[in-house]
């Protein structure tokens, strides 16, 4: 599959990001493919033609819908960031992670095995408007620097709580220590933090093992292309 270089499309690409890739990796690879495509036509691309961005970071361990913007569409990034999103997440009970995901140091917390009813009761308390403190390992800027960079240096990162909205939170499956949820949330919601807060409410500890973004507003991952569709491999 080639990228449309005619300018006839709206400059929006829906990509199903694989695990192990950063959002920036995807953007850089797509930019490289576009450059090669122009060069194969004997054209030296302009900076505008090579302008590629994304509308909402996915963590490296996460998969799913990444909206990639091309050319002038990059100016609309802020509009996408404000949109609601749907995620599916697998959460591991009984342990915590320093980063809230599999990439951190794992710490055993409890061997208590909550019942399905107990889990569903706790999940119900996390719907509606709630307060959430974004994780230290995030791309939020603190005093002009990315929070995760400060956290990696061992510095204490203090990010204030914010109000988010969890429109729905559904338990898809549960087989201790793993539970899988689907949640529809407002922009600015961190699913890693939601998993940790659920674990704290259950008194078991928890962290996010797998995370997949399935939709952003009206855009669905089922309509997304894989990187291999564009001839992009690791």
Q: Which residues are catalytic?
A: 59
Beta bridge partners of 219: 216
Q: DSSP for 10-23?
A: -SEEEEEEPTT--H
As a dihedral over the C-alpha atoms of residue 203, residue 190, residue 123, residue 61, rounded to 10 degrees, the angle is -80
Say if residues 87 and 138 touch (Cβ distance below 8 Å): no
**Residues near 93 by Cβ (< 8 Å), separated by ≥ 6?**
113, 114, 176, 177, 178, 179, 199, 202, 204, 205, 206
As a dihedral over the C-alpha atoms of residue 16, residue 56, residue 67, residue 226, rounded to 10 degrees, the angle is -20
């Amino acid at each position: 599959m080639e990228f449309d270089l005619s300018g006839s499309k709206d400059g929006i690409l829906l990509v199903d990001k694989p695990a192990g890739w950063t959002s920036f990796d995807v953007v850089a690879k797509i930019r490289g493919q576009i450059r090669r495509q122009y060069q194969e036509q004997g054209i030296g691309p302009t900076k505008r033609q090579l302008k590629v961005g994304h509308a909402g970071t996915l963590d490296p361990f996460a998969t799913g819908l990444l909206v990639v913007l091309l050319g002038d569409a990059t100016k609309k990034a802020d509009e996408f960031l404000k949109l609601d999103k749907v995620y599916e997440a697998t959460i591991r009970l009984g342990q915590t992670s320093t980063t809230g995901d599999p990439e951190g140091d794992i710490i055993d917390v409890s061997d208590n095995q909550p019942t399905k009813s107990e889990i569903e009761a706790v999940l119900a308390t996390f719907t509606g408007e709630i307060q959430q403190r974004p994780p230290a390992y995030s791309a939020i800027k603190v005093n002009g620097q990315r929070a995760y960079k400060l956290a990696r240096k061992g510095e204490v990162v203090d990010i204030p709580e914010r109000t988010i909205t969890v429109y729905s939170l559904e338990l898809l499956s549960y087989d201790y220590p793993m539970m899988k949820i689907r949640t529809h949330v407002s922009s600015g919601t961190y699913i890693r933090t939601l998993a940790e807060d659920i674990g704290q409410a259950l008194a078991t500890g928890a962290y996010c093992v797998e995370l997949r973004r399935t939709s952003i507003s009206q855009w669905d991952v089922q309509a997304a292309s894989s990187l291999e569709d564009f001839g992009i491999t690791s």
